[in-house]
Amino acid sequence: MIPAKLESELTLGRVAIREAIRELTGSGLVESLPNKGTFVASPLTLAEIKELYNVRYHIEAKAAVIGAKNLTHAQLERMQELHHIMCDESLPILDYFLPNREFHFILYRACGWRYINQLISQIWDQILAFRSFRKYNVGNPEQFNKEHQLILDNLKSGDFNKVGQFIKVNLRSGLNQILSLANRMPTES
């Protein structure tokens, strides 16, 4: 990527382009090599994705349990609105990812752990890049929506440990979907 070329193509200033490249580099989506330039990073392998999910089970469930204790009424209402959006059968499947991300991150941000949230965000970016590169779309989100409802039900009842358990269930469903789709695709080299 050549910042000057991006400036003219995107009609953005040099500072904005450099900040975007810095953000993308920090998330691992691009690689910056000294004296060579900045390039789109190769997506993770399926083995790396599996390991990332093992990390996700722990940090996202913990962030959810702590976040659940700090969640405001307005945040819970927003999560319910997002759930309603995701349950709309007319929602194009590619439009599912952003409300899903916001649903989870409202809960995670409520834990107050800024660095952990940055790490979770980077992991989500890598998973999304992997899904996009491999064309592993959500397919039928019905199972995810049921799990989101269970998360909401336990937030409302105050059973915060179950919130963490259902976050893990939801994440396992995501990994299982990736693995199912991977089994139907040609093997990675």
Q: What's the CA gap between 42 and 60, in Å, rounded?
A: 25
User: Would you place residue 180 in the very low, low, confident or very high pLDDT band (cuts 50, 70, 90)?
Assistant: confident
Q: What's the CA gap between 62 and 178, in Å, rounded?
A: 23
Residue 31: is its pLDDT beyond 90? no
Which range is least confidently modeled, 19-23, 64-68, 80-84, 159-163? 19-23
Check whether residue 164 and residue 97 sit in a common domain: yes
95 vs 19, residue with greater confidence: 95
Q: Does 103 reside within a domain?
A: yes
Q: Does 19 reside within a domain?
A: yes
CATH number, position 172: 1.20.120.530
* Structure confidence at residue 187 (pLDDT): 54
The total number of structural domains in the chain stands at: 2
Mean pLDDT on 127-145: 79
Check whether residue 123 and residue 154 sit in a common domain: yes
Mean pLDDT on 116-145: 84
Residue 22: is its pLDDT beyond 70? no
- In 3D, which of 27, 163, 26, 181 has the Cα closest to residue 104? 163
* Structure confidence at residue 44 (pLDDT): 82
**Can you give the pTM of this predicted structure?**
0.80
Residue 117: is its pLDDT beyond 50? yes
Mean pLDDT on 150-167: 98
CB 8 within 8 A of CB 16: no
Mean pLDDT on 46-51: 94
Domain that holds residue 52: 46-184
Gyration radius of the chain over CA positions: 18
Q: What is the mean pLDDT of the chain?
A: 86
